[in-house]
Structure 1
Amino acid sequence: MTSKIVVINVVGLTPELLQHAPRISQAGSAKPLRGPLPAVTSTAQATILTGLNPAEHGIVGNGWYFRETGEIRFWQQANTLIQGETLYQAISPAKTAKMFWWYNQGAPVEWSATPKPHYGCDGSKEFGILDRTSCELVKNLGPFPFHAFWGPFSGVASSQWIAAASAKVIEQKRPELTLVYLPHLDYDYQRFTEHDPQRVAEVDACAGTVIDAAERIRAEVIILSEYGLVPVSRPVMINQALREAGLLTVRDGPFGEMLMPMDSKAFAVVDHQLAHIYVSDRSLLPAVRDCLESLPGVDAVVDPCDIGLGHPRSGELVALSEPDAWFCYYYWLDDRKAPDFARTVDIHRKPGYDPCELFITSKFRAAARLAQKKLGMRYRMDVVPLDPRLVRGSHGLRTAPQKGAVIVGQDPPEDMLQVKDYVRSRMER
């Protein structure tokens, strides 16, 4: 290996938006980047790192149904969930720094940093990160702004912190390969229909911080994205339809209705504009398909093998939304019986992706709950609205090339399946 490479993942960047990102544009020529279905973070990153389709690497979404335990789990971090050789394994013994990319825990890399809250036995939570860089990132940069990484107050501060941390690791450790994740465009582009160029300028400045550090160690920079976001106006209540058809089972209790996957004949694990449909008895597949195909906003219900998702983790069926629609996970029919976690930011407990976590019912309510926390009282940060109509942007489907993922570099490829080999070839020059 003779060349150092820094790969910056600017989530939500598209060829169309590059005109507002001069620092990123200077990294080389730009090409639309064709990715897999679903066009979501975990699946795209696993495809980039392995050069394999989801049917091979097994990351069929940001979450899926774990049949072995009867649990729906989202946003897992274990590197062992990726099936197949990753880029950082392929270049070993070259040293890698993995900065906030997914599946970071247990990754065979020299340096890494990733979000990891602390959980108390009484249900309390304290924010923190796993810093495996030996650069004392929190000591030098201050606490990671978790509130800006996800939730109603998410914004540029988290990407600025990640950029500064990555620059410090690049300059102090001089990795052969550095992977940097900048999530900024994922926030307002789900909140609003219009894509404000100012958000691109902000993330371009964050990328510039990393680019400057790369230049100081004479590393080549490659910039890419996972998907582009599109305007949406229609939430599809797919689990409510399955419940009304007598296929989805819940358990009522003191904390609201809870989905019972192992007792259900069919349920959907939703992920933006794609949903895995798990069906307990294959003889029910025609009835489930008929139920879902009649829903407004559903474009198609397909066999996962037909779209490159033929993996045991996938549902028996996969639903694709129409371009202006997205799938909402809600399974209750009365908001008074919504589970207590529905009104909170709780990405690991919810049985589906919930973009309503980007919105807030009341800043005053949030301040009152925060005061309860500081006083040591038990509290519930129930500030997330139960109104999916607020969501104005989504992703998950393949889009027109100018509105989808992009890659910027020296003669870059046009398919995510080729990125792994492309990065290796640039390192071997």
Structure 2
Amino acid sequence: METRDFEEEKAAFVGKRVFLDDFVLPDYGAFNIRNVKSLVGKVFGVNALKPAVVPDNVVDDFDGVEKVFLVVMDGLGYNRLLAYVKGHDGFLSEIVGKGVLKPFTSPFPATTSTSLTSIFTGFTPAEHGVVGYQMFSREYGCVFSTLDMKPVYGYSSEVEIARDYARRLKPWMHVLEERRVGTRVVTKRSIVGSGLSRVIHAGQETVPYSLESEMFVKCKRVLEQPDPVFLILYYSGIDALEHRFGPYSEEVTAEIESFEFLLKNFFGKLSDITKRETMIMLTADHGVCETQRTRYVKDSPEVADNLRLPPVGDSRTAFLFGKEGQCERLRRAFERSFDGFRLVGCDDLVDTGAFGRRADSAALSSVIGDFVGLSKGPEALAYPYYEDERNREQRGGHGGMTPEEVIVPLLSVRLSKL
């Protein structure tokens, strides 16, 4: 498939959002996946869900649509999708050719927990406060994983991080339910009930699956029901292989081929009535970069000795907390030791709107520290709490601010066109 027009549109979009030459800032006002809420509100005519200024033409014609099928493909960045359809004249190419494909942005950091929280709440990271794969909790005095909402080192039954987030954050899908639009979340059985799921799926009906073949059987049963429905499918197979083998590996290509085959087979089994009533929106939480080298903070004493706690964030975005009075020494040491990263003051990054509006960002100071180290290329940064973690280096990473990570697809089409 010829992809030149899509590549040029992406380049023009990136050019308007460029930051410090190597990076791209999220566009929370319109072209960001947190605004899925507004797009779904437009389709179903629910004014309470339409505050963002998102043009109608970013999705396919939705006149008469009664069912929206949102597919969140973990790790399938815009560049990766284009590379695939350029080399494979298959069903995904048909969807791109007959539908509408637009470049959108992931929230920052470009990582699953941050992005999914934005999709399910409609909030920016500044508003929902989930910023990275690992975070520091001043309340509990620990570093925790934002996926399972538990400390990364040690454990205490008194730590109720998921409960605390769930009390404060409420998904927006209940607004559809109140207007008699059913909502369902089809997701991996192994993550149902996890810390993050308890937050973003609160009050929703989840439909668990174990294998991809079962996944589409569950989706078919939901869409074939006669009433209006908003169905969300979360699929993580591509991301899992990207981390292990690299985003452009043969293994990842094979996984996309497998998903494409199952998707085509699934659509082929839907009734004509369901196809007329349904629009698919396919997007991603983030893209993935090749990782060629992982650097370890523990191996640089001049950096580690000036930190008051381990780096948090992600492998490609490190939030650094300097010891009191030692921030300038930390800055110099980090820039000498990790030249594959760009060091930016966290206050300066907040001012750019990387997390959302400055007015919403006051609570971030305690969780993002003094500096952020942004990977400019194929390097990652890690802090192994256990030494055997050094043997688990990955070939793909995300969480940063490069176009490969931040630019994600929003692909939509009426199923009746396929």
| TM-score class normalised by the smaller sequence | 0.5 to 0.7
For residues 402 and 283 of structure 1, what CA distance do their matches in structure 2 show?
34
Residue equivalent to 2:198: 105
What amino acid maps onto 1:278 in structure 2? F
What amino acid maps onto 1:98 in structure 2? V
Residue equivalent to 1:6: 69
Displacement of 1:273: 0.8
1:200 to 256, 272, 276: 256
Structure 1 pair 159/295, CA: closer, same or farther in 2 (3 Å)?
Answer: farther
**Given that residues 132 and 312 in structure 2 are in contact (C-alpha distance below 8 angstroms), is that contact kept between their aligned partners in structure 1?**
no
1:240-285 alpha-carbon deviations (Å, 9 max, x no partner): 435874346xxxxxxxxxxxxxxxx232124131122234x44332
Q: Structure 1: where are the runs of 5+ without partners?
A: 114-130, 132-136, 138-143, 145-157, 249-264, 333-337, 344-385, 412-429
- TM norm structure 2: 0.62
- Secondary structure (helix, strand or coil) at the match of 1:30 reads strand
1:298-334 alpha-carbon deviations (Å, 9 max, x no partner): 42222334152442433332221221111222256xx
1:354-398 alpha-carbon deviations (Å, 9 max, x no partner): xxxxxxxxxxxxxxxxxxxxxxxxxxxxxxxx335x522222223
**Given that residues 65 and 73 in structure 1 are in contact (C-alpha distance below 8 angstroms), is that contact kept between their aligned partners in structure 2?**
yes
2:281 to 217, 222, 227: 222
Displacement of 1:97: 0.8
Structure 1 pair 324/401, CA: closer, same or farther in 2 (3 Å)?
Answer: closer
1:92-139 alpha-carbon deviations (Å, 9 max, x no partner): 4132112228833263444114xxxxxxxxxxxxxxxxx5xxxxx6xx
1:163-183 alpha-carbon deviations (Å, 9 max, x no partner): 343334444696621111111
Residue 17, structure 1, aligned to residue 17, structure 2: no
Structure 1 pair 406/298, CA: closer, same or farther in 2 (3 Å)?
Answer: same
* Two-structure CA RMSD over aligned residues (Å): 3.4
- Secondary structure (helix, strand or coil) at the match of 1:275 reads strand
Q: Structure 2: where are the runs of 5+ without partners?
A: 1-43, 45-64, 150-161, 356-360
- Secondary structure (helix, strand or coil) at the match of 2:326 reads helix
Residue 407, structure 1, aligned to residue 404, structure 2: no
Describe how 1:238-253 pairs up with structure 2 within 5 A. Answer: 238-241=297-300, 245-247=304-306
Residue equivalent to 1:231: 290
Displacement of 1:70: 1.8
1:314 to 368, 385, 390: 368
Residue equivalent to 1:81: 165
Structure 1 pair 161/227, CA: closer, same or farther in 2 (3 Å)?
Answer: same
Structure 1 pair 164/203, CA: closer, same or farther in 2 (3 Å)?
Answer: same
Structure 1 pair 167/410, CA: closer, same or farther in 2 (3 Å)?
Answer: closer
Describe how 1:284-323 pairs up with structure 2 within 5 A. Answer: 284-305=326-347, 306-307=349-350, 308-309=354-355, 310=361, 311=364, 312-323=366-377
1:143-193 alpha-carbon deviations (Å, 9 max, x no partner): x3xxxxxxxxxxxxx444433433344446966211111111113322334
What amino acid maps onto 2:229 in structure 1? E
For residues 115 and 334 of structure 2, what CA distance do their matches in structure 1 show?
26
**Given that residues 221 and 409 in structure 1 are in contact (C-alpha distance below 8 angstroms), is that contact kept between their aligned partners in structure 2?**
yes
**Given that residues 274 and 396 in structure 1 are in contact (C-alpha distance below 8 angstroms), is that contact kept between their aligned partners in structure 2?**
yes
**Given that residues 21 and 200 in structure 1 are in contact (C-alpha distance below 8 angstroms), is that contact kept between their aligned partners in structure 2?**
no
Structure 1 pair 68/222, CA: closer, same or farther in 2 (3 Å)?
Answer: same
Residue equivalent to 1:346: none
For residues 302 and 172 of structure 1, what CA distance do their matches in structure 2 show?
51
Residue equivalent to 1:419: none
Structure 1 pair 283/247, CA: closer, same or farther in 2 (3 Å)?
Answer: closer
Residue 185, structure 1, aligned to residue 238, structure 2: yes
Displacement of 1:30: 1.1
Q: Percent identity?
A: 19
Structure 1 pair 159/79, CA: closer, same or farther in 2 (3 Å)?
Answer: farther
Structure 1 pair 226/266, CA: closer, same or farther in 2 (3 Å)?
Answer: same
Residue 35, structure 1, aligned to residue 106, structure 2: yes
- Secondary structure (helix, strand or coil) at the match of 2:328 reads helix
Residue equivalent to 2:24: none
Structure 1 pair 76/89, CA: closer, same or farther in 2 (3 Å)?
Answer: farther
What amino acid maps onto 1:76 in structure 2? D
For residues 277 and 21 of structure 1, what CA distance do their matches in structure 2 show?
45
Residue 283, structure 1, aligned to residue 325, structure 2: yes
Residue equivalent to 1:96: 183
For residues 173 and 258 of structure 2, what CA distance do their matches in structure 1 show?
29
- TM norm structure 1: 0.61
For residues 66 and 288 of structure 2, what CA distance do their matches in structure 1 show?
33
Residue 69, structure 1, aligned to residue 140, structure 2: yes
Residue equivalent to 2:34: none
What amino acid maps onto 2:391 in structure 1? D
Displacement of 1:18: 4.6
What amino acid maps onto 1:86 in structure 2? P
- Secondary structure (helix, strand or coil) at the match of 2:300 reads helix
Describe how 1:142-181 pairs up with structure 2 within 5 A. Answer: 144=210, 158-171=211-224, 176-181=229-234
Displacement of 1:232: 1.8
Describe how 1:262-277 pairs up with structure 2 within 5 A. Answer: 265-277=308-320
Residue 55, structure 1, aligned to residue 109, structure 2: no
